[in-house]
Amino acid sequence: MENQLQEIRKILGLIDLIEGQYKIKPNHDVDDPLLYCGVADSNIISQLNVEVEKYFGKAYKPAGEGAFFKNFFDRFIREVGGARKEQTLFKKDISGQVCMYCAFWPWGSNPVKTSVRLGLLCYGADERDFFTKKLKGEF
């Protein structure tokens, strides 16, 4: 797991870009030590999408694509809370038990706002404990 830290930290460089270039402010109410969440004006998401693709490649679940069956049968999508048609979800496998993701979740109540999430998903408790300790304060 130690050798995966470098790749994870490289992807975490997105946080500096998100906050610096796009002026997105973090939501400090998020209580997950392996999740960054900020709120952006929806009009910048297409630009941010280009930057995120440099780290993740094409979207795992692009906006406009339905995810009905994926919400039931895709473990990754279930673990991040499911996906709706208007949401964009990127995934980068770090190992068989760990992946990074980035999600754009437009607000249904306020369509000019979109939540931007960058997280580390660990399928095992050992991995989650390890990365929570090693990456404390980096999200």
pLDDT digits (tens, 9 = 90+) for 106-131: 998 878 999 999 999 999 999 999 99
> Is the pLDDT reported for residue 1 higher than 90?
no
**What local confidence, expressed as pLDDT, does residue 55 receive?**
96
Q: Give alpha helix (H) positions in 57-112.
A: 68-73, 75-79
Residue with tokens 């900020």: 38
Q: Which token pair is 38? A: 């900020």
> Is the pLDDT reported for residue 91 higher than 90?
yes
Percent of the chain predicted with pLDDT > 90: 87
CA 92 – CA 73 distance, rounded (Å):
19
> Is the pLDDT reported for residue 30 higher than 90?
no
Averaged pLDDT score across all residues of the chain: 94
Residue with tokens 């993701």: 101
Percent of the chain predicted with pLDDT > 70: 100
CA 61 – CA 129 distance, rounded (Å):
28
**What local confidence, expressed as pLDDT, does residue 28 receive?**
82
* Interval 91-101 mean pLDDT: 97
* Interval 52-70 mean pLDDT: 94
Crossing angle of the two packed helices 45-56 and 5-20, in degrees rounded to 10: 160
- pLDDT-derived band of residue 8, with 50, 70 and 90 as boundaries? very high
Instruction: Yes or no: say if 136 and 9 are a contact pair by the CB < 8 Å rule.
Output: no
